[in-house]
Amino acid sequence: MLNCGDSAVNLSGAAPIFSALGDPVRLAIVARLCKDGPLPTIELKQCADGVSRQGVTKHLQVLEEVGLVESDRTGRDRQWRLQAQQLVAVRDYLGWISAQWDQRLELLRAFVEDDA
């Protein structure tokens, strides 16, 4: 478990979320929900160009499985909203991982300067 600040993200937990974000349609859906807040399925269908309603539903289910979105049905249609914690967690994971990289670069720089 890699503890980085208040959001503890382990590697095996992050991969499925990246995988979920790895499809252009799903990424567009997440981006849309970030921008415009809770939306019904039909509205999110516009994110997927030429994909059927069932196709979009499948994508939404994938996002739901990894906890990136949640939904409840209000009457006839289903409202989808973002679960920001997961997004923040994976963002922080990338931040943490690239911080390690920066640290390595810094060490290398210091080493070279010492040597010179």
The site for DNA (CB under 7 A) is made up of: 22-23, 25, 40-42, 48, 50-55, 57-59, 62, 73-78
Q: Which is nearer to its own copies, 27 or 51 (CB)?
A: 27
Provide the residue type at 50 as one letter.
G
- Distance of alpha carbon 45 from alpha carbon 43, whole angstroms: 5
Whether 74 and 63 have beta carbons less than 8 Å apart is answered as no
In the complex, minimum distance from the CB of residue 51 to DNA, in angstroms, rounded to a whole number: 4
Q: Indicate which of DNA, its own copies, none lies near residue 67 (CB less than 5 to 8 Å, by partner kind).
A: none
Residues 67-86 touching its own copies, rule: CB under 8 A, are: 82, 84
Work out whether strand 39-40 and strand 77-82 pair parallel, antiparallel, or are unpaired. Answer: antiparallel
Q: For tokens 């967690």, name the residue.
A: 89
Task: Report if residue 8 touches its own copies, rule: CB under 8 A.
Answer: no
Residue 79: which region, alpha, beta or left (left: phi > 0; alpha: psi -120 to 50)? beta
Judged by the rule CB under 8 A, the positions of this chain that interact with its own copies are 11-12, 14-16, 18-24, 27-28, 30-31, 34-37, 82, 84, 87-88, 90-91, 94-95, 97-98, 100-101, 104, 108
